[in-house]
Amino acid sequence: MIDTVIFDMDGLLIDSEPLWGQAMREVFASVGVELSMELASHTTGLRTAEVVDYWHNYFKWRGKSTEQVTNEIIDLVTDKIIKKGKPMKGLDYILDFFEQRKFKMGLASSSPLRLIDAATNHFGIKNRFQVISSAEFESHGKPHPAVYLACAKALGSNALDCIAFEDSITGMTAAKAARMKVVAVPEAHNRHNKRYALADVQLNSLKDFNDDILGQL
């Protein structure tokens, strides 16, 4: 019986993906790398260190270590989220929906825990989750299912009894690999990507989820 819901954060609950893109482009520019929005989209959903390693292997910059670049990106995007970040449409609605139905609620993000804590505290939603899991502490990040499996285990739930909400292909793949039901809410420009057919449900907004959809999962 489905009794647990696990949410991604960036791009799903918080409109932070554009801010991640800005932060990455600004920091990468400091090492002479010009990262377009199109290029940046190739690494959406990965852990920050994995993104930096990927582009370091591609561009071979010098002057700053990958660790330094990673920390600068995390610091900058955290600052941008606090100053400019906005909740996604339907944030309160979807959290209220599952709270009212007594679901166990978790958050499973690729972001480092210090960023998750800063963002969820800023938006006043941290205490609405019984468990918050960061892929920072897993052997593999998304699309590997590790962070979803860890979150389910900490909630005392079987993965088969979980619904995962995701916005990215990478995250959706991770949740499906964990054998969870997946509700995908892609960004508007990405809704026609055929790979989202892997999800059990695809929505345009969190507010589109309802009891009829829940009953079909």
Domain boundaries, the chain: 4-15+86-216, 17-84
Catalytic residue among 3, 10, 79, 208: 10
* Structure confidence by residue, pLDDT tens digits, 30-65: 999 988 777 777 787 678 898 899 999 988 988 899
The rounded distance, in Å, linking the Cα atoms of 17 and 22 is 9
* Structure confidence by residue, pLDDT tens digits, 139-187: 999 999 999 999 999 999 999 999 999 999 999 999 999 999 999 999 8
10 is catalytic: yes
| pLDDT attached to residue 123 | 96
Return the CATH class of domain 17-84. mainly alpha
| pLDDT attached to residue 194 | 92
188-to-105, 121, 125 alpha-carbon distances in Å: 26, 27, 24
**Percent of the chain's residues with pLDDT above 90:** 82
Give the CA dihedral 132, 136, 141, 142, nearest 10 degrees. Answer: 40
208 is catalytic: no
| pLDDT attached to residue 110 | 92
Q: Cβ neighbours of residue 187 under 8 Å, at least 6 residues apart?
A: 11, 17, 167
pLDDT-wise least confident of 33-42, 109-118, 126-135? 33-42
Catalytic residue among 3, 8, 117, 212: 8
Return the CATH class of domain 4-15+86-216. alpha beta
Q: Cβ neighbours of residue 38 under 8 Å, at least 6 residues apart?
A: none
- Buried b / exposed e across 66-93, counting CB within 10 Å, b at 16+? beebbbbbbebbbebbeeebebbebbee
Closest by Cα among 203, 14, 213 to 107: 14
* Structure confidence by residue, pLDDT tens digits, 5-15: 999 999 999 99
For residue 167 the two structure tokens come to 């916005």
